[in-house]
Amino acid sequence: MIWAIVINLLYVVIEAGLGIYGDSLGLVSDAGHNLGDVFSLALTLIGFKLAHAAANHKFTYGYQKSTILIALLNAVILLVAVGVIIVESIHKISHPEPVDGALVSWTAGVGIVVNGLTAWMLMKDQKHDLNIRGAFLHMAADTLVSLGVVIAGVVITFTGFVLIDPIISLIIAAVILASTWRMLRESLSLSIDGVPEDIDVDSLVVRIKGLAHVKSLHHIHVWALSTTTNAMTAHVVIDSRDNEDAILAAIKALAAEAGISHPTIEFEITPCGCEHTYEL
């Protein structure tokens, strides 16, 4: 993650400088987006460190929730970047200016290497962490965006069609929006304790109810402690206290299969009366 930050920050400085020198909105807007990615990578790294910080008397879960808030912040930052790119692109279409196509192509070509390398660095861990997945998707999308900017530079060099530059910028905005939308939706849901998208609560309830000695289940809640850790609480009505240990082990196994590593179960012989309030 640190190497990814350093490499991308150096590229942002070079790309922005060449974009201003060559008067290319495509390069400047892409540099702005890449700068957003640098902040995203930095925030992701901070979230990772906070998630592994020790719990204390004021934060009994530690700071794991910060990873979700950082994912949400990253999504908001990218949406702001999309707005800026769209406004600038519209202005550029209304007031076209000459662009050095060769400069655009060569600079964006370096971007393909930088973004592709960064995406490769993040590929291993992106399957299990919303923060890293967001960073990976952004860098993978940036690789395609840089390819588009290279194409724009070639078109300008051979045809002089300068409007292709803001058009590519609008395409960049669309790519960013598409890659950000899912992370925004998921991080917003997790920030208000929504069920993680990859967990099927209804299926989990059916499987727990199907266990031997389980009579019913209610007052179940599933939420994310962080972008990598999920929790669950539930009231389970059983036929006898003698079976608690075996049932608890079975429920923990089902929860682990569902992606829940922190289950808390309350056993009851007689329902507590709150099942009407919490239908699940």
Cα distances from 160 to residues 4, 20, 96, 151, in angstroms, run 35, 19, 12, 13
pLDDT interval class at 256 (50, 70, 90):
very high
Indicate whether 263 belongs to any domain. Answer: yes
Same domain, 213 and 159: no
pLDDT interval class at 236 (50, 70, 90):
very high
Indicate whether 276 belongs to any domain. Answer: no
Q: How far is C-alpha 96 from the chain's CA centre?
A: 35
Same domain, 180 and 227: no
Task: Inform me whether the pLDDT recorded for 133 exceeds 90.
Answer: no
Task: Inform me whether the pLDDT recorded for 274 exceeds 70.
Answer: no
Task: Inform me whether the pLDDT recorded for 277 exceeds 50.
Answer: no
pLDDT interval class at 134 (50, 70, 90):
confident
Same domain, 115 and 43: yes
pTM for the complete prediction? Answer: 0.76
Task: Inform me whether the pLDDT recorded for 279 exceeds 60.
Answer: no
Same domain, 176 and 218: no
Percent of the chain with pLDDT over 90: 24
Give residue 95's domain range. Answer: 2-191
Give the number of domains in the chain: 2
Task: Inform me whether the pLDDT recorded for 100 exceeds 70.
Answer: no
Task: Inform me whether the pLDDT recorded for 165 exceeds 90.
Answer: no
Same domain, 107 and 205: no
